Structure 1
Amino acid sequence: MSAPDVDPQRLSPESEHPFKRLLHYAKPHKKRVWAAATSSVLNKIFDLAPPALIGAAIDVVVEQEDSLVASLGIVDVTHQLIALSVLTVLIWGLESAFQYLQEWLWRNLAQTIEHDLRQDAYNHIQNLEMAYFHEQSTGGLMAILNDDINQLERFLDTGADDILQVATTAIVIVTTFFILAPQVAWMAMLPVPLIIWGSFKFQRMLAPRYAKVREQVASLNGQLANNLSGIATIKAFATEDYETRRISRESDDYRQANRAAISLSAAFSPLIRMAIVMGFTATLLYGGMLAIEGTLAVGVYSVLVFLTQRLLWPLTRLGKTFDLYQRAMASTRRVLNLLATPISIISGQTPFEKEGARGELVFEDVEFAYPDREPILQNFNLRIPAGATLGVVGATGAGKSTLINLLMRFFEPAKGTVRIDGTPLHELRTDDLRRAIGLVSQQTFLFHGTVRENIAYGSFDADDDAILRASRQAEAHPFIEELPHGYDTIVGERGETLSGGQKQRISIARAVLRDPRVLILDEATSAVDNATEAAIQRSMNRLARDRTMIIIAHRLSTVRAADHIIVMDQGRIIEQGSHDELVALGGDYAALWNIQTGNTHHTSTDAAE
């Protein structure tokens, strides 16, 4: 699979703040961001109007023909109240309309950014080399793709809107205060610097605690995913109690990490509330005294009291907003750091059409080692002619499957070159290369779905006739017809409703349907009975025509008919030739053949060792 086209700006260094890195995902949606932000601001402006209307109504009742509304040309008191009533309905209607718009825009924007981020993260994961997956748990990756990205959605749903609305509230009310009563304004603003300082101090203290929470939830998800995958083993070894205790420990660690964050998060609002009381009390007392003295209009005093409350009390929500923000940033950092993981296997640019391919494979002086392990291949050389069938045998760990990993470009050799039809694999488009190679692995994987869907996986445009031909070639058609719903039978997750041999034959049919130039069978008969092995053997004999075939097997009967057989040990070819030549050689292959056929009395002492 070729690497995705990812904006390099999205893969900023890990040291950059996650919020700045996240902004790159908002850039394609600038118009929607501005529309959502404008709706939030207008919603808050109209939300702040009712205190002014209340103050105007009080002013009408107290001042009557001398009120502010009267100065606008509406002298009659009743008409003034009617005008205020109409204005109230209009303002509340506009507030409701903009509230709908801001919620609709922010929530849909959150869903869009969440979708983009999850798609990029998943696509990036698919393009990482197989070594990466050896170091990561499935549950941990699921936690990033689901839970971490969902944390971001929760912040964008409400947190961004809250920040905008608090900022709008502060600007509108502070401006109003200094216009109406500058002598009172400074007292109302007294706690604001303390609240702002406390908010930023709070969120800096909260950040590492939520980072720990995200780490713990990933660990918990990893253990849960591992246990669910191995549920049969857990039952077989009667370790349910042990696993329950293990999950309990992981869950308790997650709870304790949350408890540490909650203890700080819960303290914010009460502390800020006490600071707010200072500003509210000062306005209530000092403004009231000015109103009694007659230097401040009663209506204006009413507006100031209401606005002080409207300014200061929403600041207590900053605690929850910062809580959401820190959760989101801790999760975003994990997602974006995943996206910053370098892709080491880069697709080449040379097309490779399987229709014109011959299938000649060459390993030239190849050296390879798995991470943190000794080299398994050193100066390895092998040539497989086009159309030939190669059998590969050897003990576990001899390097047999490593050949397949290099051919499929799941890993890259440290030195040397692997070629197909004379072209180095790293120069070819990876998608083209893998479409030209059919792989039937020992670890057969079937997706939840029908038999038909699993055979057609990777050949999605194949018609029913092609699927039937492939299943017949793989000796799968007879047993498929006997299933409850034939080709439309649901196989279950990982194909659990089928036997090992049935899954292998469906896997062979899936590979055959692609009509690859190179077909690889990696231990395809290792876990099947003799009848199934015979069926798979017949399949292989038919499939070997007009294509290069590599058969890795422990059962030598599986490779007996191969054109050429190599015996591997510790990454080296120690014997090679046809079946008859190797048996006549009397070496390791002959010893193993005699053991598997029961002719142990023909095995020399040296060979047996």
Structure 2
Amino acid sequence: MKAYLTLLPYFRQYLRWYLVGSVALLVASGSQLLIPLFIRDAVDIIAFGDFTLQQLLRPLLFMMLAATAIVIGRLGWRFCIHGASRRIEGQLRSRLFSHLLRLSPAYYNRTSIGDLMARATNDMNAIRMASGMALVAAVDGVFMTIAILAILFAQAPQLAAYTIIPFPLITLFILSLGKIVGKLFRGVQDSFSQVSTQAQEVLSGISVVKSYAKQDRFIQRFADANWDYQQRNMRLVRIWGLFMPIITFLSGTTTLLLLRFGGEQVIIGSISPGTFVATLSYLQLLVWPMMGAGWLVNLIQRGAASLQRINEVLDTEPEICQPDNPRPLDTIEQIEIRNLNFHYSPQEPPVLQDISLTIPHGKTIGLLGRTGSGKSSLIQLLCRLYNPPPGTVLINGSDILQLDLQQLRARIGVVSQNSFLFSATLRDNIAFGVPGAPHPLLERVAGVATIDRDMQDFPRGWETPIGERGITLSGGQKQRTTIARALAVQPDVLIFDDALSAVDTETEENILERLFAERRGRTNIIISHRVSTLSHTDYIYVLDHGRILQHGTHRSLSRSAGLYRDIVLMQQLDRAHEDHPHHEDQQ
């Protein structure tokens, strides 16, 4: 139950709502307790004979007033308590989402999106029920149980003692079953996360699944996850299905006891017929708190299991945090890396070793290396998506760990190879970093990225919705749109992480020519496997296995033996073969 400590601040915030709702609930329940008394009076009037309709009007009128109070009370507690629980659900979900945005990429590398979606939806629903209906069941159950027992013992103590014999057994049964329900529900929630993960993964990569004709494979995988979820639910349903009939049976024995002992007392005149009928009504009312106790245990256990899953996320500390006393960063003048060694976890080998380099202001630096050489890792450290060791990455002479995190990232624009676009219009995607950007700026950056030449192909021009993840665009159009998005921010440092891989050579040359004209006097970092792209840079670093293997200008590296020259010659041969594809056959 420690999990519920998370909700304490919200309970305090909505304390008045809960108090007013509880008062309304007590009004409704108290009015409900009065009705059997009015029925008792009416039955006794009829049973004694020699009565007039005028005598029945009084209990009938009181019953109508009590019914009216019940309606008003139920409306009141539903509005207040349900309203509070809905607001708590919304605030907790917003808190969860805000916390997720603060977590580093490393967290998402080890956590599936489907699992997080299940926590934000299914678990939140269970928490809402625990903070709403569970309170109703608790308050109503305690009040009704105490009040009904008091009334029963006040009007017929001996009969009450006989008829409530089954209720202690019901209470023990409910308490013993609560722990089992909680464990089973935790398993159900975990299984639901697997189903969500399977569905999210397949639907996100539906084009790949179809292109490889693997629908049957993923249908089977989803069926297996769905079967596990179904089986876990069935185990919970079986327990709950056993629970309700037993409660009903034990509760029904009270009626048998009433008929046996209450009937006898009516015959000998110890109690009136009206008291017998009222007792029967109260015993039926007492069944609800007993059954409600089982429902209460179920709701609380489900809510606790879901809160534990939510707390697992909320208790995860962000690995990338704003420093206590951040240094302001007005502009990025120089980037320096000193003896950088970095690995993602102590158990893994380092991905960068002894990296030292300087990126002066206004220069364009190139990075070349085989896949896995550490190029992208270096860029992620510059953007502080991961924390480098202290004193190894310096901006304007200051340790990057001491700089204001938001200002740092706002001054660096990154275009990655994997172009991510939002389900919005083309205009909204390009202006993502600069909401409300003037149209001339958007036209200029679209021209630099050459996406403007495709504008006539879009049905609604700038206002064309591009679908989820930009599904309506080609690979090249996606990359050019993300280039325009990065340029619109006008960052101090622009990073191209193999950002031209999906465009042809002619388009690449057009983009680079316009890009260098647009970015003249500002710092650029270009990662590419194409030597033709890197030939436009001022200085090049060649990485291999996490180390700087070579560095120099394109001209000097092309003349020196090494990996860079090997790649130059290889790509020259490839271009020659493309220009003369039948040369060998003709010879």
Instruction: Pick one of 583, 592, 595 that aligns with 2:567.
Output: 592
Aligned counterpart, 1:45: 30
Is 1:363 equivalent to 2:348 in the alignment? Answer: no
Q: CA deviation at 1:547?
A: 1.8
Is 1:17 equivalent to 2:2 in the alignment? Answer: yes
CA contact (8 A) 1:190 1:278 kept: no
Aligned counterpart, 1:565: 540
Which consecutive unaligned segments of at least 5 residues does structure 2 have? 577-587
Q: CA deviation at 1:78?
A: 4.6
| 1:571-597 deviations in Å (ceiling 9; x for gaps) | 111111111111122321111112112
**1:469 is matched by which residue type in structure 2?**
R
Aligned counterpart, 2:271: 296
TM-score by length of 2: 0.93
| 1:221-257 deviations in Å (ceiling 9; x for gaps) | 1111111122112111111112111111111111111
**1:151 is matched by which residue type in structure 2?**
A
**Distance between the aligned counterparts of 2:350 and 2:259, measured in 1?**
79
Q: CA deviation at 1:599?
A: 8.4
Aligned counterpart, 2:86: 111
Q: CA deviation at 1:327?
A: 2.8
Instruction: Pick one of 512, 525, 528 that aligns with 2:487.
Output: 512
Aligned counterpart, 2:388: 413
SS of aligned partner of 1:402: helix
Aligned counterpart, 1:55: 40
Aligned counterpart, 1:374: 349
**Distance between the aligned counterparts of 2:9 and 2:292, measured in 1?**
27
Is 1:344 equivalent to 2:316 in the alignment? Answer: no
**1:44 is matched by which residue type in structure 2?**
S
Counterparts of 1:66-465 in structure 2, within 5 Å, are 78-349=53-324, 356-371=330-345, 372-414=347-389, 416-465=391-440
Q: 1:474 to 1:363 in 2, by over 3 A?
A: same
Aligned counterpart, 2:552: 577
| 1:161-203 deviations in Å (ceiling 9; x for gaps) | 2232222210110111222222222223322222111111111
**Distance between the aligned counterparts of 1:547 and 1:350, measured in 2?**
28
Q: CA deviation at 1:486?
A: 0.6
Q: Which moved more, 1:430-439 or 1:80-89?
A: 80-89
Q: Which moved more, 1:414-423 or 1:374-383?
A: 414-423
Q: CA deviation at 1:318?
A: 3.7
Q: Which moved more, 1:147-156 or 1:36-45?
A: 147-156
**Distance between the aligned counterparts of 1:236 and 1:410, measured in 2?**
33
CA contact (8 A) 1:481 1:487 kept: no
Aligned counterpart, 1:26: 11
Aligned counterpart, 1:13: none
Q: CA deviation at 1:479?
A: 1.7
Q: Which moved more, 1:111-120 or 1:389-398?
A: 111-120
**Distance between the aligned counterparts of 1:241 and 1:358, measured in 2?**
52
Aligned residue pair count: 575
Aligned counterpart, 1:605: none
Q: 1:194 to 1:22 in 2, by over 3 A?
A: farther
Q: CA deviation at 1:315?
A: 2.1
**Distance between the aligned counterparts of 2:131 and 2:186, measured in 1?**
19
| 1:474-518 deviations in Å (ceiling 9; x for gaps) | 322222244111100011111111112211121111111111111
| 1:98-146 deviations in Å (ceiling 9; x for gaps) | 1112222232222211111111111111111111111111111111112
**2:343 is matched by which residue type in structure 1?**
A
**2:22 is matched by which residue type in structure 1?**
A
CA contact (8 A) 1:467 1:513 kept: yes
Q: CA deviation at 1:155?
A: 4.1
Q: 1:197 to 1:397 in 2, by over 3 A?
A: same
**Distance between the aligned counterparts of 1:26 and 1:150, measured in 2?**
17
Q: CA deviation at 1:284?
A: 3.0
**Distance between the aligned counterparts of 2:526 and 2:551, measured in 1?**
14
**Distance between the aligned counterparts of 2:325 and 2:474, measured in 1?**
41
Q: CA deviation at 1:600?
A: 10
**Distance between the aligned counterparts of 1:46 and 1:545, measured in 2?**
80
**Distance between the aligned counterparts of 1:525 and 1:452, measured in 2?**
21
Aligned counterpart, 1:71: none
Q: CA deviation at 1:288?
A: 2.6
Q: 1:600 to 1:258 in 2, by over 3 A?
A: closer
SS of aligned partner of 1:48: helix
CA contact (8 A) 1:523 1:552 kept: yes
Q: 1:95 to 1:313 in 2, by over 3 A?
A: closer
CA contact (8 A) 1:173 1:307 kept: yes
Q: CA deviation at 1:416?
A: 4.1
TM-score by length of 1: 0.90
**2:432 is matched by which residue type in structure 1?**
Y
Q: 1:63 to 1:423 in 2, by over 3 A?
A: farther
**Distance between the aligned counterparts of 1:206 and 1:483, measured in 2?**
55
**Distance between the aligned counterparts of 1:121 and 1:259, measured in 2?**
30
SS of aligned partner of 2:372: coil
**2:35 is matched by which residue type in structure 1?**
P
**Distance between the aligned counterparts of 2:354 and 2:558, measured in 1?**
27
**1:537 is matched by which residue type in structure 2?**
L
Aligned counterpart, 1:11: none
Q: CA deviation at 1:390?
A: 0.8
**Distance between the aligned counterparts of 2:492 and 2:366, measured in 1?**
17
Is 1:501 equivalent to 2:486 in the alignment? Answer: no
**Distance between the aligned counterparts of 1:465 and 1:264, measured in 2?**
66
Aligned counterpart, 1:73: none
| 1:391-426 deviations in Å (ceiling 9; x for gaps) | 011111111001111111111124543121122222
